[in-house]
Amino acid sequence: EAGVVQSPRYKIIEKKQPVAFWCNPISGHNTLYWYRQNLGQGPELLIRYENEEAVDDSQLPKDRFSAERLKGVDSTLKIQPAELGDSAVYLCASSRTSGGTYEQYFGPGTRLTVT
Amino acid sequence: KNEVEQSPQNLTAQEGEFITINCSYSVGISALHWLQQHPGGGIVSLFMLSSGKKKHGRLIATINIQEKHSSLHITASHPRDSAVYICAVYKGGSEKLVFGKGTKLTVNP
């Protein structure tokens, strides 16, 4: 079974530029998560999708961040414009269903550096 | 105060040593994850447990629900065990996963 796929693995951009990250969850997993992980910290949830519906986006900075999960499969997270403080690892995870404690599986992450 | 606390923050060991990483939490949970993160890499789930003890190879995880405490043990540590180990809990009644800050383990040959 293929794991969670993310691309790109690394991205370096100048501030004020746009950037996009892509995630393909494990087949059959209806719940998809985007996390941001700052250096030396644990991941923090940005947004959670159940199928194509964003059910928790309370921590997503909506002035510059947007996300979509068309057709309830793969997802894109965008930042426009990027700021220096956005430098972090962006992790995608998926699980078979939400509710209860179904195990989350994580992708390799995208390390973003904003200069 | 963080809902999930790990100790120690950093740990250096010699190859072959027995290692213990601790996790305490202050909320009701339905399950607890131990995760491993290598530098530049993604996160791998080691264990998910809600009671008792689980073992996989040289790794052992235990949880005490009454004391709200879990431990991850590594026997016969090896340099390839060097990574950040993260404790995360599912808060009771929700799908939300709350993470500790991680313990950075370095095992020297």
Give the pair of three-digit tokens for residue B57: 């190879």
Q: What is the pLDDT of residue A72?
A: 84
User: From CA B6, how far away is CA B35, in angstroms rounded?
Assistant: 12
Interface of A with B (CB under 8 A): 4, 6, 31, 40-45, 48, 56, 91, 93, 98-109, 111
Structure confidence by residue, pLDDT tens digits, B56-98: 999 999 999 999 999 999 999 999 999 999 999 988 767 788 9
> What pLDDT, on the 0 to 100 scale, is given for residue A2?
80
| Residue positions counted in chain B | 109
B94 compared with B36, residue with greater pLDDT: B36
State the pLDDT at residue A98: 57
Give the per-residue pLDDT at B87.
97
Cis amide leading into B79 (omega within 30): no
d(CA B65, CA B79): 32
For residue A1, CA distances in Å to A47, A62, A97, B33 come to 25, 34, 17, 21
What's the confidence (pLDDT) of residue B26? 95
Burial-class residue B39 by CB neighbours within 10 Å (0-12, 13-18, 19+).
Answer: exposed
B100 interface with A at CB cutoff 8 Å: yes
Where does chain B show beta strands of DSSP type E?
A: 4-7, 10-14, 19-25, 29-37, 43-49, 52-56, 59-64, 69-74, 83-91, 97-99, 103-108
Considering only CB atoms, A42 lies closest to which of B31, B90, B101, namely B101
Shortest distance, CA B77 to any CA of chain A (angstroms) = 23
Question: Does residue B54 carry a pLDDT above 70?
Answer: yes
Assess B44–A contact: CB distance below 8 Å, yes or no: yes
pLDDT of residue B10: 96
CA distance A11 to chain B (A): 13
State the residue for tokens 């941001």.
A36
Matching residue, tokens 């500790």: B100
Q: Are B38 and A99 in contact (CB under 8 A)?
A: no
Using a CB-CB distance cutoff of 8 angstroms, which residues of chain B are in contact with residue A56? 96
Predicted confidence at residue A100, as pLDDT, reads 59
Q: Which residues of chain A fall below pLDDT 70?
A: 1, 98-101
Kindly determine whether residue B88 and residue A107, on different chains, have CB atoms separated by under 8 Å.
Answer: no
